[in-house]
Every structure is written in C-alpha cells, then in structure tokens.
Amino acid sequence: MIRSPDLDSFVCCAVCSKIIPPPPSSATFDQVREYKPFRTRYYTHRDILEIGAHIQQEQHEKKEVEIQERIEKMKAELLSQAEMDKEDAVDKALKEAAANHSVFVQDLKQKLGKELREEVKKAKAEMQQYMEDEWKREAEAAEQRMAHRLQCALTECAREKMQAVAKARKEEREAALKEAARQHREHLQQLKEESMLAEELYHKSIEQLKKEKCHEINIALDITKKENQIETEKQLKEVETLHLDELEKVMVTLKAAEEQVKTLTQKLEKMTDWKDSLETEIQATRQSFQKYIDATFPNLSPGQADFILPFRKAFEQKDTPEEAEDSDKE
C-alpha cells in the first residue's frame, strides 16, 4: 500500500487509487483469523477492505455510545452536585439577605426619623413664616386702604382748590379784559389825535423838504452844467489833437502810396512798350509764316497763318490810379 500525504489514510494500489483508512487494530485481525480458510479464500481484496471498514465503523459507533453514556453520567453527577451547591448558596444568600435587610431597615428607620424631625421643624418654620407674611400683608393692605382714602381726600381737596382758583382767575381775567378794553379805547383816541398832529407836521415838513430839495437840485444842475461844459471842451480838445495826429499819419501813408503808384506807373509804361514791340514782332512772324505757307503749299486757301497764329485783341490801357483819383474828385 502507498501512504497518503496526510499520514492517516492509505491508497490501495496504483490501479484502483482507493483511499482507505489506517490499518485495523490487532483485535480486528484476531476476528479475521477466526474465519475458516475455505470461507475467506473466496473474498476479494475489495471485499476485505469493505469488511474492515464496516468493522471499524461499528467499533467507532460503539465508542461513541460509550462516550455518550459517560457524558450523560457526568452530566447527572454535575447536575446533582450543582443542585446541592445551589441549595446551599440559596440558603446562604437568604441568610445574608435577611441580615442585610434588617440592617437596611434599621438604617432606614433612623434616616427617616431624622428626616421626619427635620421636615417637622421645617414645616413649623414655614408656618411661622407664613403667619408673619400674612400679618405683614394684612398690615400693608390696611396701610394701602388708608393711603387710598387719604389720596382720595387730597384729590377732592385739590379739585375743589383748582375750581376755586379757576373761578378766581376767570373773574380776574374778565376784570383785566374790561380794564384793557378801556385802556385800549383811550390809547386809540390818543393815537388818533397824535396821528392827526403827526400828519400835519408831516405835510409841513414835506413842503419844507420839497422847497429845500428844489433849491439843492437847481444848484446841482448849474454845477453839473458847468462841469459838463468844461469836460466837453476838454474832450473836444483831446479829439482835435487825436484827429490832427491821425491826419498826419494818413498824409504820410498817402505820400507813400503816391510814391508806390508812381513806381507802378513807370513799370506799366515799360511793360506797355515791351508789349507793343512783342506784338509788332508777332505780326512780322505771322506775315513771314504766311509767305512760307503760300510758297510751300500754293493749293491751300489764304489765312492759314491766322489759324495757327490767331490775332490777339488790342491791349486797352486802363486808367492809372492818379487819373482815377482825379476823376473821382471831379
């Protein structure tokens, strides 16, 4: 047989490759040896292996049953022991609980008694405080009622006083109004008389002032006329002086213009002479050119030179600036 890698099972052979459990124990082999040879020789190798596995399974089940019985037995023993321990523990716990309960009850009685005494003292103090507060409230309420009555009486007195004062003021106001009306009438009469006197004085003063102002205005007009006359004479002299200066400047400018006109006239005469000579030369050139055309092209009609060199208009000499100025003066 071939041992498998897990070292617990074996392979039968290389042909079947069946994994079999470990070899049976010596007791199993003893049971196998008890069979007769004529019976065992007919079993095949596979049957032997199956028989061995079956026997091993039975032994395994038997061991499991034994183990289960032992476990049940141990459980029963443990349960009985646990019941006994439980009863002992319960008795002990009951005794301890009774002792603790008695101690707790005693402590609770002492504590509750102390708290009860404190609560009684506190209730007495609160009741005393409540009685004092109630007495104070009653006293304050009585004081407030007395103060309210006193306030009502004072208010009534003040109201009656205000009515009396208002009545007295009304009477005083009426008397004062009557006196003021009488004084106002007297004052108006006095003002009327004073206004009449003032109006008369005003008219008199106006007449006097008018006369004085007329006299002052006449004097001022005379003075103004004299001043204006002097100022006018002065301005006339200044204007005359300025006019003479301007006239001198104009005369100088006029002389310069006359000199310029003379120069231009001389230039114009020279240009006129030059133009006359130029026209004479052009006329001679036209005649020569006409003669050349007549000699060269006899078939052409006469006047070809006039077509090529047309006649110019005669120059009309304009008037000189001096002649124009003389004509304007005339």
pLDDT at 285: 82
The position carrying tokens 């003002």 is 191
3: which DSSP letter? E
User: What's the mean pLDDT when you consider all of the chain?
Assistant: 77
User: 181-229 pLDDT, tens per residue?
Assistant: 888 888 888 888 887 887 888 788 788 888 888 888 888 888 888 888 8
Grade residue 309 by pLDDT with cuts at 50, 70 and 90.
low
User: How far apart are the C-alpha atoms of 113 and 124, rounded to whole Å?
Assistant: 16
Q: Determine whether 17 is exposed, middle or buried from the number of CB atoms within 10 Å of its CB (0-12, 13-18, 19+).
A: exposed
Residue 38 has pLDDT above 60, yes or no: no
Buried b (16+ CB within 10 A) or exposed e, 229-242: eeeeeeeeeeeeee
Q: Is the dihedral of CA 21, 27, 28, 33 positive or negative?
A: positive
Sheet (strand 10-11) strand order:
2-3, 10-11, 19-20
pLDDT value at residue 233 = 86
pLDDT score, position 299 = 73
Q: Indicate whether this model's pTM tops 0.85.
A: no
Q: Say yes or no to pLDDT of 284 above 60.
A: yes
Beta-carbon count within 10 A of 125 CB: 10
Residue 282 binned pLDDT confidence (cut-offs 50, 70, 90):
confident
60-101 tens-digit pLDDT: 888 888 888 888 888 888 888 888 888 888 888 788 877 888
